[in-house]
Structure 1
Amino acid sequence: MGGMQVPCILGVNLSNGDLLEFLQQLADTDGSSSMPPAVLRVLNSKACRGAIMFGDSLLPSQCALIVEELKQTSLCFQCAHGRPTTIPLVNLEALHERIAKLGMSSDCSTGLWHGLCRQELGLERAKRRLRMARSK
């Protein structure tokens, strides 16, 4: 049979250090250890690399499913390596400040800025709309 065999997990060769780390873990826990750290690192890496990446095209239904599944996780804003899983699409505070600098009122009576205007908080806006509807 010749040659030395190297432990391999999902195509990733483990090092001598990985094996020693697991042996130390077994010694520290009297053999009742959980998954070897090297195996966990490989699985985390494979899961991360196989995941949806920023820029991937998704259907709206796929996006909705991802958001629902992320809600069920304990660390929904980062992957197993600590990388972010979400990015802001727009900085609303900066957008509102820019609109304010252009002299736009909160009710947009002076016009729109690229079709956008700052709205009142939900409850206040709802009360105002209800008053307007009753006065008609």
Structure 2
Amino acid sequence: MDWNIDTKLSTITLDNCNTNDAMIEKIKDKLPLNTLLKDVALLHMRCCAHILNLIVKDGLEVVKDGAERIRYSVAYWTATPKRKEKFEETAKQLRISCTKNLVLDCPTRWNSTYKMLDVAILYEDVFS
């Protein structure tokens, strides 16, 4: 309030959390509502990155079993240089170009799971 932020505020971007919803209600009581864009309708903007993260996590839950099997296979084939060599030999026998290295994901980071699956799909027949 000392800096007059209350008169310069248009939106607050937060993730989707009940605590944040409650806090927005408390903030509304402290602000001059006539200075806000569209009155109060745009004050609480949901974080798109958080929403996207929730959507992707829900989608990955659907394919969880398959992703885990691929994760274990990638971990197995990348554990030693000898196994990696055997994997590449099998790919060559199946006439599959080994242009990309297998990538093991970090299960808590969905973008790494995407990268793992993106590469693994190229070698689907080798895994079989």
Shorter-chain TM-score bucket reads under 0.3
Q: TM-score, normalised to structure 1's length?
A: 0.24
- The structure that is helix-richer by fraction is 2
Query: Whose RCO is larger (CA < 8 A, sep 6+)?
Result: 2
Radius of gyration: which is bigger? 1
